[in-house]
Chains A and B, each alone.
Chain A
Amino acid sequence: MSSLTPRTSEPATGTAPGTARGPARRRRIAPVPTLVLLLGALYCLLPVAWVVIASTKSGRELFSTFTFWPGTGLAGNLSDLHAYRDGVYWRWMGNSALYAGLGALLSTCVSAFSGYALATYRFRGRETLFNVLLAGVLMPPVILAVPQYLLLAKADLTDSHLAVLLPQILSPYGVYLARIYAAAAVPADVVEAGRMDGAGEWRIFTRVALPMMVPGLVTVFLFQFVAVWNNFLLPYIMLSDDEKFPITLGLYTLLEQGANTPALYTLVITGAFLAVLPLVALFLVVQRFWSLDLLSGAVKS
């Protein structure tokens, strides 16, 4: 399922044509691909390595010592960050976790309902509805966010957690993935058998179809979690009270203030370092459940 986990076998070296030239050849490393990939990995890891090292430096060390030489200020930086405006940084982290966690959970539920209905039922208006929902993916976020702000202002909901949460629940991409996955994973005769046994539609969905859709729904959840966690524009437009900021917006305001005062640089850098950690940790833990194959499966159909 997962394309990020290592291949269990090496089909390339295992297939007959590759081995036909003899075992000595098989064991040799292909230098060019390995080198190219290592360079790519170096490029991608460079800024991350930099922020890890820079976060250990005190303000003075940051400007005086070689960039990739660790400093001695990590504990000081962490306590500075903790002390900054009574620990507002942890507030931002908590808000991000709330927006991304709850938002992605609700989004997955809505995607599961819609994807299941679109995949297993035949009903009038099905394709029209699907296409209309999908068209949402093409809308630039700003054409939505500005009027969303004005409308939510009329309902007196701007500058609240709901203003960031509600617009991100419907994910056209999530509906699309859920439909593809439900079509592939939930056989029609299983649903029909449930009906023959006299089970209601809701019961068939929760007891039979939902368990079959779990791997696909994990993927939908993760995509949406990353999308909400990384979102900047919507909270930037909706929020003005920094107690409700997610981490992206919090770091941005910190940078905006810090740009003119290099003393705040270390705070921004340490904050950026800590902001990267949760998602990287999440990735390393869940990568085996993440079926990106869905993407190319979607392409093929």
Chain B
Amino acid sequence: MRSARRRGSYGVKRAPYLFLVPATALFLLFFALPIGYALWLSLRKVRVSGLGLGSGARTEVWAGLENYTGALSDSELLGGALRVLGYGCIVVPVMLGLALLFALMLDSERVRLAPFTRLAIFLPYAVPGVVAALLWGFLYLPDVSPFYFVLDELGLPQPDLLDGGPLYLALSNIAVWGGTGFNMIVIYTALRAIPAEVYEAAKLDGATPLQIALRIKIPMVAPSLVLTFFFSIIATLQVFNEPTTLKPLTNSVSTTWSPLMKVYQDAFGNGDIHAAAAQATLIALVTLVLSFGFLRAADRGNKRDAGQGDAR
């Protein structure tokens, strides 16, 4: 008994570290090491001497911040960032607006077919982004699209959905289609966690469902709205699959349409891994700054609300 106990307490001290060995090892190998390597690469460059032929002609040398200044003055990267900004300004509000709307509708009284519609709206989550882009890509093609068929029958003009301004809408639509259901479930789950008593007083006072939704439900699910917003921003900054998949169908999506596509193009298309590493580092920095900035702003807002709640 005594020895078992001693062994036990010895084990208790060591056990958590042993349990965490796999995660730590994987983190070091596949997160920390690649990040460190990317940082290292971003500070180096290849010097080509002579004609660049022979084994000693290409040498890796220290570059300092050269790759970063190069990336910051790269008009293609900047253009990609602006395109993604425009795209994000459509995707995030529309997707989260629809998700909130559907969640509130699911949570309202006397709604019919709720289980069916909930599952139907969640279904796109199971469809890979590449396949979603492919399906919508075909629906945007005049030859096979039902939209064009209807426009044609009605004698209306047929816009080219894969060019210019409509291209942003076409790409945003794919992201909205794929992401609304998941966010709806997150918000809906939070709505269901609100105890019924909260509404009772409001109902007795004769508040309409709209008033209840605006004044009680939405403020109470604010934390999940913050969470969905946070993840949506990160996903938007990293858009890659949808424009890459649409690329074969149209000439308007360049190989550097989004910043991540530019990184891929530089690393594997142009073989300049040093420039690609610097750009990837910049994108990661922007992501970190934006997401933490947003979380802090949201946190401050929460504290202020909580303060008001206490005062009341």
Q: Point out residues on A near B: beta carbons under 8 Å.
A: 3-7, 11-13, 15-18, 26-30, 32-34, 36-38, 40-41, 43-48, 50-51, 54, 62-63, 66-68, 109-111, 113-114, 116-118, 121, 123, 126, 129, 132-133, 136, 138-144, 146-148, 150-151, 166-167, 169-170, 175, 195, 198, 200-202, 205, 226, 229-230, 232-233, 236-237, 247-249, 251-252, 255-256, 258-259, 262, 265, 268-269, 272, 275-276, 279-280, 282-283, 287, 292-293, 295-296, 299-300
* A126-B1 Cα distance, complex, nearest whole Å: 30
**CB-CB under 8 A for A287 and B138, given A146-B38, A170-B27, A226-B126:** no
User: Which residue in B27, B122, B189, B234 is a CB contact (below 8 Å) of A138?
Assistant: B234
Nearest-neighbor residue (CB-CB) of A17 within chain B: B203
Is A17 touching B200 in the complex (CB atoms < 8 A)? yes
**Which residues from B are CB-within-8-Å of A41?**
116-117, 120-121
**Which residues from A are CB-within-8-Å of B128?**
229-230, 232, 247-248, 275, 279
**Which residues from A are CB-within-8-Å of B101?**
36
**CB-CB under 8 A for A147 and B287, given A51-B135, A121-B15, A252-B245:** no
**Which residues from A are CB-within-8-Å of B193?**
293, 296, 300
**CB-CB under 8 A for A292 and B185, given A38-B113, A146-B267:** yes
Is A12 touching B110 in the complex (CB atoms < 8 A)? yes
**Which residues from A are CB-within-8-Å of B29?**
166
* A80-B223 Cα distance, complex, nearest whole Å: 50
Is B139 touching A47 in the complex (CB atoms < 8 A)? yes
Q: 5 smallest A-B Cβ distances: which pairs?
A: A41-B120, A117-B19, A259-B248, A147-B34, A201-B15
**Which residues from B are CB-within-8-Å of A169?**
26, 30
Is A13 touching B109 in the complex (CB atoms < 8 A)? yes
Contact indicator per residue, chain B 256-292, by CB within 8 Å of chain A (1) or not (0):
0000100110011000010011001101100110010
* A165-B100 Cα distance, complex, nearest whole Å: 36
**CB-CB under 8 A for A13 and B110, given A41-B116, A226-B126:** yes
Which bracket fits the contact residues of B?
35 or more
Is A37 touching B117 in the complex (CB atoms < 8 A)? yes
Is B31 touching A144 in the complex (CB atoms < 8 A)? yes
**Which residues from B are CB-within-8-Å of A67?**
144-146, 149
Is B23 touching A248 in the complex (CB atoms < 8 A)? no
**CB-CB under 8 A for A4 and B122, given A15-B200, A142-B280, A232-B130:** yes
**CB-CB under 8 A for A33 and B108, given A50-B139, A138-B234:** yes
User: Which residue in A37, A136, A147, A262 is a CB contact (below 8 Å) of B111?
Assistant: A37
Is B102 touching A37 in the complex (CB atoms < 8 A)? yes
Is B19 touching A142 in the complex (CB atoms < 8 A)? no
Is B26 touching A170 in the complex (CB atoms < 8 A)? yes
Is A146 touching B190 in the complex (CB atoms < 8 A)? no
**Which residues from A are CB-within-8-Å of B149?**
66-67
Is B37 touching A150 in the complex (CB atoms < 8 A)? yes
**Which residues from B are CB-within-8-Å of A54?**
138, 144
Is B260 touching A140 in the complex (CB atoms < 8 A)? yes
* A88-B104 Cα distance, complex, nearest whole Å: 45
**Which residues from A are CB-within-8-Å of B68?**
none
Is A255 touching B181 in the complex (CB atoms < 8 A)? no
Is A30 touching B109 in the complex (CB atoms < 8 A)? yes
Is A300 touching B115 in the complex (CB atoms < 8 A)? no
Q: What are 30 pairs between A and B in contact, CB < 8 Å?
A: A3-B188, A4-B119, A13-B109, A29-B111, A40-B102, A40-B121, A40-B180, A41-B117, A44-B120, A45-B120, A67-B145, A117-B20, A139-B284, A142-B238, A142-B260, A143-B280, A146-B38, A146-B263, A146-B264, A150-B41, A150-B273, A151-B33, A201-B15, A255-B137, A256-B248, A269-B138, A272-B134, A292-B186, A292-B189, A299-B227
